[in-house]
Amino acid sequence: MTSTLEIEINRNQNYVVISLCGEVDLYSSPKFRKQLIPLTQAKLPTIVIDLSKVSYMDSSGVATLVEGLQLIEKYKGNFYITGLTPMVREVFELSRLDSVFSIHESVEQLQRNQLIP
């Protein structure tokens, strides 16, 4: 069975954007984690997770994001989340994690606000 999650990684000089497309659940979240954790181990200064094409996320996806946040905070890097769809926003709000993450409208907005070059 093919994965319901596609992951695209765009590396730039000082930051990386991980774009997720599809559904993040207990089956697919390990695939996301496998991409995310090495980037934190490499201590990239800024990691952006773009969720604008995520139609579904369960608590395993949220747990992966929390783990990423905690790892990047250890070396005082930046962890930004962009493009919450209504479904994903509700999961964040119910988990009361909407105030824990730095959430932004889009990657372009991060650029306009000079949070990334």
Where along the sequence are the contacts to other proteins (CB under 8 A)?
1, 4, 23, 25-27, 56, 58-60, 62-64, 66-67, 69-70, 87, 90-91, 94-97, 100
Question: Under a CB-based contact definition with an 8 Å cutoff, are residues 77 and 43 in contact?
Answer: yes
Beta bridge partners of 53: 21
Q: How far is the CB of 69 from other proteins (least distance, A)?
A: 8
Closest to other proteins by CB, 52 vs 59, is 59
CA distance to 36, 58, 73, 86, 100, per residue, from 47 (Å): 9, 21, 11, 22, 16
Q: How far is the CB of 93 from other proteins (least distance, A)?
A: 9
> How many alpha carbons fall within 13 Å on the CB side of residue 34?
9
Closest to other proteins by CB, 9 vs 94, is 94
Q: How far is the CB of 50 from other proteins (least distance, A)?
A: 20
